[in-house]
Amino acid sequence: METIGREVVIENEMGLHARSAAKIVQISERFDSQISLCRDGNVADGKSILDILTLACPKGSVIRVEATGPDAEQAIREITGLILRGFEEK
Amino acid sequence: MSDHSEMHDIVLQGIAASPGIVIGKTYHVDRGEMKIIYEYLLNDAQVAQEAARFEEAVERTRDQLRLFLEEVPEEFKDHIHILDAHRLILKDRMIYDETLRTIKKEQINVEWALKITLDKARAAFSKIRDGYIRGRIKDIEDVVSMILRNLAGKGYEDITTIKDRVIVVAHDLSPADTSQMNIDRVMGFITNMGSKTSHTSIIAQSLQIPAVVGLERATDRIGNNQLIVLDGSKGKVIINPSQATLEEYSRKKGKYEQYLADIVRCAHLPAETIDGYRISIKGNIEQLEEVTAVLDFGAEGIGLYRTEFLYLSSKTLPEEEELFENYREVCEIVAPHPVTIRTLDLGGDKFASNLELSEEMNPAMGLRAIRFCFKMRPIFESQLRAICRASHYGNVKIMFPLISGVSEIVRAKEILRKVQADLTRERIPFDEDLQVGSMIEVPSAVAIADLLAREVDFFSIGTNDLIQYSLAADRTNEYVAYMYMPFHPALLRMIRQVVTSAKREGIHVAMCGEMAADPLCIPLLLALGLDELSINPHSIPLIKRIIRTSTLEESRDYLSHTLLVKHRLDTSGLTRFAKA
């Protein structure tokens, strides 16, 4: 199955911290596709909050969101959308 | 327990963490460390059973978390994301799958497997550079300990649904514990651990719940569901109180509450004497949690934010980002009022545990505060960056501690300017009119106050150190503590000199030591002409009330008398103020 992906920049002040990572996991869990977050050669499972946290992405990090599976496109759209909206933090 | 009268009134003494009196039944919250033993599983059946036991414990934990989420009290809604994260961690593959795999592969019991999982997570997190994210290991530890409790069949006491009004007794309470409590039901806190500035104390103070902490073995000595008297002002707990004691404390409680209600009711009125002299009252804080209490008690901002806590509370140095978030939150809550942030006052007896510095012969006169910051330049710059960045979000002032000469303030300002130039280059916004002040707490700074006043926007007199350095008396030394005297004419003359220098250069002059919260000193401080007093939050209503019932004229009389005192000051005439 084809893997699709998109690069985004983490814009929120605190980077990918617990709250933002939790939001990604909550979205990822709704999809059947396998979802990964990649940064500097490290890969984190989009459905694991701990994995995402250990990726340690501060503000300004460029990450690549990848998805493989039947609903990959929608998953990428929702996750990158969330990141681009700064995780809806104030 | 027998009914003999000698068994009545067993008094336990702890640390007075939050004032007030309550009489009520105790409720034990068991949060002790759990012992984990290693067991080897003999066959597949045992392994399957162990895996099932783990899955059940996880399910039970998940139900408990869901319940917490549903019942989190309104005032803690902001903390929900912690519980959300906990729920995700529970089923995270790094915990869940990993533990199941370890049970099967190593043929060991769940508890030990969880321990291995946690150790692995700790190793992974310890490599993370970002201090905030690295600190999230605490969430994983909390979740693992919840699972362990369920495995031990102890369950997780549902402190969210405490039905009766109780006095909580615990070994220690974590922020997660207190955020899950139904605070309306908690009349008081008693813990084995803790100090005046520990988390439980701060929470108790800001919620105005009486608390006694550091009462060793409280959980052993105080029974569950036992009637006790808790006196948070004196740090006392009375077990098995007699009828007479109960009556006495009910009376005291009534009187105390009446008094509190009286002074707090007027806390929001300005601190202005009868004859129209206005002084600004601000609060001293050490932790973010205290900010709301300061405002509730009628402060017009934060006059001293001591910033050591984040450096002392963890094994690693806080990162700029963590500091920035913290300062930003404080100044956003306090805005439009100002927040004066004092740069790191470490050294002497206060050291971050990860900084290995040689022991000093005389720490109070050694490498501390601004001297320490000059030596640890990267630490200093990172704090200055965080403060400047936060200044964009509120009204921030910056204050340097332990300044003893002009060259120090010049150097501190140079470093600040360099940091600001960096921020400008990086296009990070900050308040370009950020005010800079000097603490006056060394006698040499008093002597050259006229020169220092040309270099800064404000002074803040730190009386605790100034008194000790001026009188060469350590107030914690029982043999010389009696010499620690805010009324000493030498000190009053020094304060007068500082105020005069400040006024001549047109700069603001504040006082942020304990003297500013001493009711007997208030008339002196009014007469000396200070612009601002910054004091511990709980003294604010009383001090404001004293000022509102004083006159400047009468205060000046006291001052002229006190400045000429040859021997020990007779304060009997001043006690009227304390009773205001």
Cβ within 8 Å, pair B95-A53: no
| Contact between residue A86 and residue A24 where contact means Cβ atoms under 8 Å apart | no
The residue from A17, A39, A64, A77 that is catalytic is A17
Residue A48 corresponds to which tokens in the numbers above? Answer: 């694991």
pLDDT at position B534 is: 97
Interface mutation target, options B77, B118, B132, B133, chain A, most CBs of A under 10 Å: B133
How do strand A62-68 and strand A3-9 relate by DSSP bridges? antiparallel
| Contact between residue B508 and residue B438 where contact means Cβ atoms under 8 Å apart | no
Residue B281 corresponds to which tokens in the numbers above? Answer: 């009252």
pLDDT at position B160 is: 58
* Sheet containing strand A3-9, strands side by side: A3-9, A62-68, A34-39, A42-45
| Contact between residue B271 and residue B544 where contact means Cβ atoms under 8 Å apart | yes
DSSP summary character for residue A57:
-
How far is it, in rounded angstroms, from Cα B328 to Cα B75? 20
- From chain A, pick out residues whose CB is under 8 angstroms from the CB of B321: 13-15, 58-59
Nearest CA to A29 out of A53, A48, A15 is that of: A48
Query: Long-range CB contacts (< 8 A, 24+ apart) of A77-81?
Result: A78/A27, A79/A24, A79/A27, A79/A28, A79/A35, A79/A46, A80/A6, A80/A8
pLDDT at position B251 is: 93
- From chain A, pick out residues whose CB is under 8 angstroms from the CB of B85: 18-19, 21-22, 49
Q: Could you tell me how far CA B560 lies from the centroid of its own chain?
A: 37
Cβ within 8 Å, pair A54-B125: yes
How far is it, in rounded angstroms, from Cα B146 to Cα B165? 25
Q: Let me know the angle formed at the C-alpha of B331 by B326 and B337, rounded to the nearest 5 degrees.
A: 160
Residue B187, H or E segment = strand B186-191
Q: What values do phi and psi take at A2, rounded to 5? A: -75, 145
Q: Which residues lie closer than 8 Å to A64 by C-beta, 6 or more apart? A: A5, A6, A7, A8, A37, A38, A39
How far is it, in rounded angstroms, from Cα B24 to Cα B224? 11
Nearest CB among A16, A25, A45 relative to B88 is that of A25
pLDDT at position B579 is: 46
Residue B577 C-alpha, separation from nearest chain A C-alpha, in angstroms: 47
How far is it, in rounded angstroms, from Cα B381 to Cα B376? 9
pLDDT at position B32 is: 54
Residue A14 C-alpha, separation from nearest chain B C-alpha, in angstroms: 7
Cβ within 8 Å, pair A13-B325: yes
- From chain A, pick out residues whose CB is under 8 angstroms from the CB of B122: none
- From chain B, pick out residues whose CB is under 8 angstroms from the CB of A13: 321, 325
How do strand B458-461 and strand B508-511 relate by DSSP bridges? parallel
From the CB of residue B257, how many other CB atoms can be counted at a distance below 10 Å?
12
Global pTM? 0.62
Interface mutation target, options A16, A50, A87, chain B, most CBs of B under 10 Å: A50
| Contact between residue A75 and residue A33 where contact means Cβ atoms under 8 Å apart | yes
- From chain A, pick out residues whose CB is under 8 angstroms from the CB of B82: 18
Which residue of B lies nearest to A26 if distances are taken between CA atoms? B88
Per-10-residue mean pLDDT of chain A, 90 residues long, equals: 89 82 91 93 90 86 93 94 84
Nearest CB among B94, B128, B130 relative to A48 is that of B94
Residues from B contacting A (CB-CB < 8 Å) are 81-82, 84-85, 88-89, 92-95, 121, 124-125, 127-130, 132-133, 136, 139-140, 321, 325
Cβ within 8 Å, pair B136-A45: no
Q: Which residues lie closer than 8 Å to B383 by C-beta, 6 or more apart? A: B307, B320, B323, B343, B344, B373
| Contact between residue A23 and residue A87 where contact means Cβ atoms under 8 Å apart | yes
From the CB of residue B323, how many other CB atoms can be counted at a distance below 10 Å?
24
- From chain A, pick out residues whose CB is under 8 angstroms from the CB of B124: 50, 54
Cβ within 8 Å, pair B132-A14: yes
For residue range B222-255, what is the model confidence (pLDDT) as tens digits? 988 889 999 999 999 999 999 999 999 999 999 9
Residue A25 C-alpha, separation from nearest chain B C-alpha, in angstroms: 8
Interface mutation target, options B69, B88, B132, B140, chain A, most CBs of A under 10 Å: B88
- As to burial, measured by CB atoms within 10 angstroms (0-12 exposed, 13-18 middle, 19+ buried), residue B489 is middle
Give the residue numbers of B annotated as catalytic, written as ranges.
199, 512
Between A and B, how many CB-CB pairs are < 8 A?
62
- ipTM surpassing 0.95: no
Report the 3 state secondary structure along B242-290: CHHHHHHHHHHHHHHHHHHHHHHHCCCCCCECCCCCECEEEEEECCHHH
Residue A88 C-alpha, separation from nearest chain B C-alpha, in angstroms: 14
Write down the residue that tokens 């031990």 correspond to.
B152
Nearest CB among B81, B121, B132 relative to A50 is that of B121
**What is the number of residues in chain A?**
90
Return per-residue pLDDT of chain B as tens, 580 residues.
Answer: 444 445 788 999 999 988 899 999 998 887 555 567 778 887 888 899 999 999 999 998 888 888 777 766 665 555 566 777 888 888 888 899 999 999 999 899 999 999 999 999 988 888 887 777 787 887 888 888 888 888 877 655 556 556 678 899 988 887 667 766 777 788 999 998 888 767 788 778 877 889 999 988 888 889 888 899 999 999 999 999 999 999 999 999 999 888 888 888 888 899 999 999 999 999 999 888 888 889 888 999 999 999 988 887 666 788 999 999 999 999 999 999 999 999 999 875 555 444 555 667 777 888 889 999 999 899 999 999 999 999 999 999 999 999 999 999 999 999 999 999 999 999 999 999 999 999 999 999 999 999 999 999 999 999 989 999 999 988 777 788 888 888 888 999 999 999 999 999 999 999 998 899 988 899 999 999 999 999 988 889 989 999 999 999 999 988 888 877 765 555 555 555 444 4
In angstroms, the first-to-last Cα distance of chain B is 45
| Contact between residue B140 and residue B148 where contact means Cβ atoms under 8 Å apart | no
- What crossing angle do the helices spanning B80-90 and B44-71 adopt, rounded to 10°? 160
Q: Tell me the one-letter amino acid at B541.
A: P
Which residue of A lies nearest to B389 if distances are taken between CA atoms? A13
Cβ within 8 Å, pair B81-A58: no
**Annotation says A17 is catalytic:** yes
Nearest CB among B84, B94, B129 relative to A51 is that of B94
